[in-house]
Structure 1
């Protein structure tokens, strides 16, 4: 079984080292799809959304160079969300037209502090859940994962799943317990709250 993914603290500390390319590959792999999807929901086409996403990661890179672990200062999720929405706002204003010209001033201002937006928080947690599911799936045999998925995700009766897979009912319960334990641990590692140390401006 491969080792679990790096915790949020250790990954962010590694990102402070510009020479650690593997850390950046992992970071972009985890958060790139989330940032891109969030930008696209704000009305940008794919190419424009990719440009905004690249600027988001450029700002993240600059902020992480001065990273210090101080849990009381804020949450990583909120910090990242604020950077995303400020880059969206900058793009709206740079265009000086389209949605930026029709949005009420209060909505434009709200974008600047959108790191704590419930929509962003939900998207962040949902995305990390999907990432955790993908990572955990690779750590189990197909039949073990199938037992978990059919019982816990699809909600099918354990006895029915056991008969279909040709295993005992106890084996199905054990599979479910093992996968749930691994999933919970991976989600904790991926979603551990860490400090914000820059306002993203």
Structure 2
């Protein structure tokens, strides 16, 4: 399985990379990964598709303008919570604008240093499910078809190892070893995408 020794090993390193205006690749990875999360959460909060797209772009623009001065400290809170706070403030501002009310929410650069007390349940679900789906997609691209099939049958479909071994005409030891190796890579991928999501069960 391919190793990415040149890639950051944690999400905080990706945040450091996007602070460099010259690192266009890091920013593209950030947008590709998190734009769908922001958009989906906006839709869950009741925004129409066009409005959700607008808010997504506003969030990304706000981060792009302010990230140069942002210091991410995982000891103070989760990256997931930080991004959720930025998104929520933008949704609130959008609603106030639509309602022609005076917007008094703090949505300037200072919001990037605010850590909420706890995550919104809908945001956590959208964030975590997207991270896992992305990690699975990335890992599948680096696995052989046979190894991925073994892992999928065991971990995703929860088939008994003996059934998987018989279906793939492999020894049971190979099945266990394959699951262990792929799961290890999956955990590393999740850590790279968002180190504070949590752990994966065996």
**Does the pair score TM above 0.5?**
yes
Q: TM-score range by the shorter chain?
A: 0.7 to 0.9
| Bigger proportion of residues as helix | 1
Provide the C-alpha distance between the structure 1 equivalents of 2:70 and 2:128, rounded to a whole number of angstroms: 23
Q: 2:147, 2:178 within 8 Å by CA — same for their partners in 1?
A: yes
Structure having greater relative contact order (Cα 8 Å, sep ≥ 6): 1
- Out of 94, 116, 120, which is 1:117 matched to? 120
Stretch moving more, 158-167 or 31-40: 158-167
Q: Could you list the per-position Cα deviations for residues 135-180 of structure 1 after superposition, in whole angstroms to 9, with x for gaps in the alignment?
A: 1111210110100110111011112112222222221111111111
Question: Number of aligned pairs?
Answer: 179
- Does the alignment pair 1:19 with 2:28? no
> How far 1:39 moved relative to its partner?
0.6
Provide the C-alpha distance between the structure 1 equivalents of 2:34 and 2:158, rounded to a whole number of angstroms: 29
Change (3 A) 1:69 1:38: closer
> How far 1:74 moved relative to its partner?
2.6
Q: Could you list the per-position Cα deviations for residues 100-127 of structure 1 after superposition, in whole angstroms to 9, with x for gaps in the alignment?
A: 9xxxxxxxxxxxx697213212322222
Provide the C-alpha distance between the structure 2 equivalents of 1:23 and 1:76, rounded to a whole number of angstroms: 16
Q: How does 1:68-87 map to 2 (within 5 A)?
A: 68-87=71-90
> How far 1:21 moved relative to its partner?
0.8
Q: Which runs of 5+ in 2 are unaligned?
A: 102-115, 197-202
Q: 1:85, 1:115 within 8 Å by CA — same for their partners in 2?
A: no
- Does the alignment pair 1:180 with 2:183? yes
> How far 1:3 moved relative to its partner?
1.0
- Out of 25, 48, 52, which is 2:51 matched to? 48
TM-score using structure 2 length: 0.81
Provide the C-alpha distance between the structure 2 equivalents of 1:64 and 1:76, rounded to a whole number of angstroms: 13
Q: Detail structure 1 runs of 4+ shifted over 4 Å in the superposition.
A: none
- Does the alignment pair 1:3 with 2:10? no
Provide the C-alpha distance between the structure 2 equivalents of 1:25 and 1:162, rounded to a whole number of angstroms: 40
Q: 2:136, 2:186 within 8 Å by CA — same for their partners in 1?
A: yes
TM-score using structure 1 length: 0.81
Q: 1:82, 1:114 within 8 Å by CA — same for their partners in 2?
A: no
Pairwise CA RMSD of aligned residues? 2.0
> How far 1:69 moved relative to its partner?
4.3
